[in-house]
Structure 1
């Protein structure tokens, strides 16, 4: 059944109702009207015939007041759309608990002329047994057995049901936040929506409040209302309004979890150049860099399996921090193995390009790379994209949103032990530098550590790994082209010092 989101809903509400995924999850601010929008969907679905996609809806809140409010909202929408439906009914529901005496609980429901109904249930998982239709779990973070409830609800999918899970946060260790993180890590194939207070206001929340309360909207009134809401929630505003689960400040990845994925024999290759190298004539810089690549990279690249797919991620820096390139090999059993890591310190822009192209040209079955395109990194990411194509090089503007969406997958790879990384103290410290900052895993701006060479690091290899994992999964999912491998035009690779590296290697169909 394809439903058109009603125009009376705000854009974020329309997006939620319009998403007809089998299972969808919404992490949200307080009082932004997602349950109200869900009631609109329940009314439309309940009023439709079976052939038009009609179905029952089972609503599960954590208290009776929520149940009554939702059913009243469904009744409102039924009248608004002039749908044939009865009034809200009070019902006595038998709350079954194995091994204990059944409880008779007053609950609420509404029945449509189609024969379908919207009914509120208690949050005991066993109450969903034998049911068919849609399940709405509201304020999921506050249910006592969310995992059991979701397990029971998912069983309804077999007969065409759908599950909607809605909640504000209640801490970063809560089962609801773990569910959201598993979705972002792609452990679960569920659709995720995130609606914070600022987004809701920008999309007309306060204007809608003014309309419903017959008050005049002004920018000044809106600003005062927003300030008042934030003052009301005070120190809890981050969690209650900004959708940032309450959290500690510890490392995102436990040391023991990282070490289980560390392997002996995976090299970390380091290129560090003195300041005076930058002012050497161009042909000397290129020649010395080519010699270094032949000596240090070529032996490692020659060991790569030509039958496996290769990817990479790069976190860029010109001086101060490191430029880190992290290749990944995807094995036949879909594990991700690190063949080596390349670190560059104080390497000029042109030589970083030279080294990068040398490496990419010799990666067998090169599929995709993701590159830090912030600041100075934008140059190298752009020329790599121009040289190898936009389907194979992603220019990533690292942001809070990017980290929120992609760091859970890095964590999942470590926890599931589907990743092999070097047993290296500097790499370990980089990975341990990832912290939760307002609910988002990233390397804090001030998280500088001293490396084994005495120079400063800033979690550089950790960011490169996150980008590499993004390249493996996201770019492949988005349709990276297949069927190409890198071959030399004249067999010289980047050893030639042509100004535009035109003979560095081109792509040829195999």
Structure 2
């Protein structure tokens, strides 16, 4: 990322500007409470012609501080002076508390009669029944109040006034929230939407483009970090922190901030949205790593599979098992392997990803299977066959342990040993996928893509899955909300399942590993032949599951 203006250029510009207005500054004396860009926002909102205002902004420039001043002025007015309730919405409780605290400060500064800041609970209902959400508010003698609410669109039901949606690009269901907020305009309300960007296809940016293109008659402002600095942001920081302002100090502070955000500086500081809605990996980079020849092993069973006879079930399973057997036989058992498993049963796919760890530590996709509408017992047997075949060379396996996936993870732990993430001797770790886990391990996978340390089979559906990973509130992950579009390859709906299996396999490949028991390794059999290990008669398989064990058990 290249800054629009270099550190040296900014230092020179600010020194020249400062010299030109020294006399004016001496006459003004103590700085005004609001900086010019904050004043401009308040002025626009105070105009009766501004019903809707969208502001694209740099991070941490104090715009919320200015909006708090406006909220106190608007809620403190009588009805005859266009007073109204003000509702503040953001994605975190910490931000709502900061906003209410700032409003209380402004109310005292403006000497507006306000009651005690209070914390209250509003009853809120959803599909799962009644629950309560926290809200904070200040009541004014005017009869109006400032209320901070959750970002759920239903929180606006039955209310009227001015709605402020802060960091709108990061709230859940922004389209629905805007729909609920814009309904306030029918009775003379007001809507303020401000945010840092989160991708070109984010709803926030799409509305901005509609405004700029003349398709929506809303007011619009753009305030990047340089606009804020020109208006005295760093001087105000120096005033608050007790540091002497200088052009050199401001230029260094600006450059340090740009360096801190790195590749994200364009979006975070200069209001330039990235391509895609927080997209994690660009398609050209993914395609560049899809260099492994081969195919993805896919199995989809009919909805009535469990009602079929054993013979019919076997006929549906055997073609897949033949392909699985051939894929396993082709593995180079001189390499080490790591496995990732993402479980699903009905709506999504089960995906198993086996990575080979090459001598230079490059991870290469050695085998991948996808299962759709496959019963849990069959899934376990297929997975067991893969792990058993590479057991002597397996460094670890990461299993999605959210929901029903926990049962598969437990069964594999019983057979292959449990690992708890600290390097313990087992091979299988049950991973509780969370924002914290994604934040810790997704960046490592991205680095592997960027450094050409991972190689995958070329597959359009897997490209789609990896493209579904978005940066959500700073964390790369597959969004919880399932997208409606279909993948271009199979034509079936997907939910980024391969991406989850892949990051679990990559995670497993990076765990500390030590052999904890001796297991003999047989030589790879000649091409076309399998090393046969008789199955004990007492374990003679029955039914379709038995056919899997019988077909695979002799050579795993």
TM value normalised by structure 1:
0.50
Higher-Rg member (1/2): 2
